[in-house]
């Protein structure tokens, strides 16, 4: 009898975890070739973004067509309201565009990326 209960609980647990992980991923469209903070550059396109919160820090994983494309450290900032659309904020620096912030649709948490130390273009 206990094996029957186990066989019923396991699929339910797997489905619950699958739905929870799907809810965490957000779709983000990158319009320009841009660096993410001090990290590598992303090419224009659509990415699935997943926020991983660790005890002392957080990071963002960018996936394209199911493959991990980029992993970047991020600071989470609490906003006053949730944006209706995902917003990607860029800054023009000497070495090109840099993504400084991403505000995910339906989330009060804003993703703030550390900027490289080079001077801003004027």
Residue 97 inside a domain? The answer is yes
- Selection from 13-22, 81-90, 91-100 with the highest mean pLDDT: 81-90
Residue 3 C-alpha from the chain's centroid: 40
User: Rg for the chain (alpha carbons), in Å?
Assistant: 18
Residue 108 inside a domain? The answer is yes
Residues 50-79 pLDDT 10s: 999 988 889 999 999 999 999 999 999 999
* Residue 111: Cβ within 10 Å count: 27
Residue 46 inside a domain? The answer is yes
Residues 103-120 pLDDT 10s: 999 999 999 998 655 544
Domains contained in the chain, number: 1
For 87, residues 6+ apart whose C-beta sits below 8 A from its C-beta are: 101, 102, 103
Model's pTM, two decimal places? 0.73
- Reading the block at residue 4, the tokens are 């029957």
Residue 74 inside a domain? The answer is yes
């Amino acid at each position: 009898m206990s094996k029957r209960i186990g066989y019923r609980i396991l699929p339910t647990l797997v489905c619950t975890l699958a739905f929870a992980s799907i809810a965490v991923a957000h779709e983000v469209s990158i319009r320009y070739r841009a660096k993410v903070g001090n990290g590598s550059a992303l090419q224009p396109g659509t990415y699935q973004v997943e926020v991983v919160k660790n005890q002392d820090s957080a990071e963002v994983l960018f996936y394209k067509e199911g493959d991990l494309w980029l992993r970047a450290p991020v600071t989470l900032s609490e906003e006053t309201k949730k944006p209706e659309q995902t917003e990607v904020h860029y800054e023009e620096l000497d070495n090109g565009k840099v993504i400084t912030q991403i505000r995910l649709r339906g989330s009060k948490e804003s993703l703030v990326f550390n900027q490289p130390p080079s001077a801003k273009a004027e």
